[in-house]
C-alpha cells in the first residue's frame, strides 16, 4: 500500500496544483466600498502576493477581506494523543522548512501522531485553505440533499439558479458541476492575471445581480456536458450559490448548523465573502490545523448524520478519470485508494482510508503550484505511511 499511496500522491501533485428553488437566502450585509475595491482585485492580489505577504496574510485573511463566521460549539470532538510517529525530528523540521510550511498534522484512528507548527502559527490560529474549501462546499450539497432542500444531483442547475438560463449552463446538472464536467470554457491559470480565476471578481456587477452568476453566465460552451473535465473554481462558486438558494441560508450558517457544531469543531471558521456578502465557496475558508484534520476525519468516517449514507463513498471515488487518477465531487481521487482536498500554495488534507490516516499541511509555497515541492510532499507522505505501520 505504501507504494500505491506514493503513486497516487504523485498524480495528486500534478492535479490543480427550505426555500423554494431559486429563492435567494436572507439578505447578507454587502461589502463596504473599500472592500468592494479589494474584492475586485482579490484574484490578482492574492495570487501575486510576495513571499513576505503570504506569510503575513494567510493566517490573517479576516483582517484583510470581509467574511462570515461559522461558530464552533461547546462540545469539541477530542483528538487524543497517539503514539508519536517514529520519524526523526530533524526530518520533520527539514521537510517543513523546505515547504515553507506552518502547520503539519497526522491523525491515525482519530489520534494525533504528529503535530507541528512554525513561523508563529499555532493551535489557536487559522490558516487559509484556498481550494480545500471546495471539498467542504461539496459536503454541504450532500447535507442539503439529506435535508430535502435539493432533490438530486441529477437536477439541472437552472432549477436552483434560474438566472443562469439561456447561457452555457443550460442542460448542465448539479453532478456535472460537482465533477467539473459542465462543458463551459474556463481558464484556471494562476500565473496569468487575465485568466478567469484571476478576473472573476474584477468586473463591476450590476445592482441586484450575483457576482458569480454574472461572470459565469457569460462564458461560452466548449463541449457537451459530462464529456470533458476542466478544473474551474468559478463552478464551485456556483455550487455555493446553489446551496444558498436551495437552503435559504448563508454557507457559514449552514456549515455551522450541519458540520461545525454537530461534528465538534474546536475553533470558529472564517469564510471570505464577495461584494454582496455571500461566501466565495470555491476558496478562502480559514480554519485551524486541527479542524482541517477533523474535516478529513469526518470524510474518513463517512459523515454519518451529516450527509446521506454513501455520500462520501461516491464523493471520494473517481467520477471522472484521467492519467494517474481522477476527480470526485470536489475531491481529488488519485490511484491507490486515497482521496484529498487540495489548495494552492501547499494546502492539503490527504486521507488514506485503508490505514485510517489523515495528513494535513498548511503552507505558503513561493508559487501557487510547484512540481518539486509537490514531489517533496509526496516523499514525506510515503514516510508517514511507512512510519504509521511500525
Dist CA 95 CA 104 (whole Å): 10
pLDDT, tens only, 244-264: 999 999 999 999 999 999 999
By C-alpha distance, which of 378, 375, 348 is closest to 362? Answer: 348
Band the pLDDT of 47: cuts 50, 70, 90. confident
Residue 145 CA to residue 132 CA, distance in Å, equals: 21
Spatial neighbors of 20 by CB under 8 A, at least 6 apart, are none
pTM of the predicted model as reported, rounded to 2 decimal places: 0.89
In this structure, are residues 65 and 35 in contact, taking their beta carbons and an 8 Å threshold?
yes
Lowest-confidence region among 72-86, 201-215, 298-312:
201-215
Q: Domains in the chain and their CATH numbers?
A: 2-17+19-388 (3.40.710.10)
For residue 21, what pLDDT band results from cuts at 50, 70 and 90?
A: very low
Count of other CB atoms within 10 angstroms of residue 124 = 8
Average pLDDT of the residues of the chain: 88
Q: Which residue from 37, 47, 38 is spatially nearest to 17, judged by alpha carbons?
A: 47
**Residue 207's pLDDT is what?**
81
- 221 - beta bridge partners? 184
Q: Any idea which residue has 466548449 for its cell?
A: 222
Other Cβ atoms less than 10 A from the Cβ of 216: the count is 25
pLDDT band of 39, cuts 50, 70, 90: low
Phi, psi of 127 (to 5 degrees): -135, 140
Amino acid at each position: 500500500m505504501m507504494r500505491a499511496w506514493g503513486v497516487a500522491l504523485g498524480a495528486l501533485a500534478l492535479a490543480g496544483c427550505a426555500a423554494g428553488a431559486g429563492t435567494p437566502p436572507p439578505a447578507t450585509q454587502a461589502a463596504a466600498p473599500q472592500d468592494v475595491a479589494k474584492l475586485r482585485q482579490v484574484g490578482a492580489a492574492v495570487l501575486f502576493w510576495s513571499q513576505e505577504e503570504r506569510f503575513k496574510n494567510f493566517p490573517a485573511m479576516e483582517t484583510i477581506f470581509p467574511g462570515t463566521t461559522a461558530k464552533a460549539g461547546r462540545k469539541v470532538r477530542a483528538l487524543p494523543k497517539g503514539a508519536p510517529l517514529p520519524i526523526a525530528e530533524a526530518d520533520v523540521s527539514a521537510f517543513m522548512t523546505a515547504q515553507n510550511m506552518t502547520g503539519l498534522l497526522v491523525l491515525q484512528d482519530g489520534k494525533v501522531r504528529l503535530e507541528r507548527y512554525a513561523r508563529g502559527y499555532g493551535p489557536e490560529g487559522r490558516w487559509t485553505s484556498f481550494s480545500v474549501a471546495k471539498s467542504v462546499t461539496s459536503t454541504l450539497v450532500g447535507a442539503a440533499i439529506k435535508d430535502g432542500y435539493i432533490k438530486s444531483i441529477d437536477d439541472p442547475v437552472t432549477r436552483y439558479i434560474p438566472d443562469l438560463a439561456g447561457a452555457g449552463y443550460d442542460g448542465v446538472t448539479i453532478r456535472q458541476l460537482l465533477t467539473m464536467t459542465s462543458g463551459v470554457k474556463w481558464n484556471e491559470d494562476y500565473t496569468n492575471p487575465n485568466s478567469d480565476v484571476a478576473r472573476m471578481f474584477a468586473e463591476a456587477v450590476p445592482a441586484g445581480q450575483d457576482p458569480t452568476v454574472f461572470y459565469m453566465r457569460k462564458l461560452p460552451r466548449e463541449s457537451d456536458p459530462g464529456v470533458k473535465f476542466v478544473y474551474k473554481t468559478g463552478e464551485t462558486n456556483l455550487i455555493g450559490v446553489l446551496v444558498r438558494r436551495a437552503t435559504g441560508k448563508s454557507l457559514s450558517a449552514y456549515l455551522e448548523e450541519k458540520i461545525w457544531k454537530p461534528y465538534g469543531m474546536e475553533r470558529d471558521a472564517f469564510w471570505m465573502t464577495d461584494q454582496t456578502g455571500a461566501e466565495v465557496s470555491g476558496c478562502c475558508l480559514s480554519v485551524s490545523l486541527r479542524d482541517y484534520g477533523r474535516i478529513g476525519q469526518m470524510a474518513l468516517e463517512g459523515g454519518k448524520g451529516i450527509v446521506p449514507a454513501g455520500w462520501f463513498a461516491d464523493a471520494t471515488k473517481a467520477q471522472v478519470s484521467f492519467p494517474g487518477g481522477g476527480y470526485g465531487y470536489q475531491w481529488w481521487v488519485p490511484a491507490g485508494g486515497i482521496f484529498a482536498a487540495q489548495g494552492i500554495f501547499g494546502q492539503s488534507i490527504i486521507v488514506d482510508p485503508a490505514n485510517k490516516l489523515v495528513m494535513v499541511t498548511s503552507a505558503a509555497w513561493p508559487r501557487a503550484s510547484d512540481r518539486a515541492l509537490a514531489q517533496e510532499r509526496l516523499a514525506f507522505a510515503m514516510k508517514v505511511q511507512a512510519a504509521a505501520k511500525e
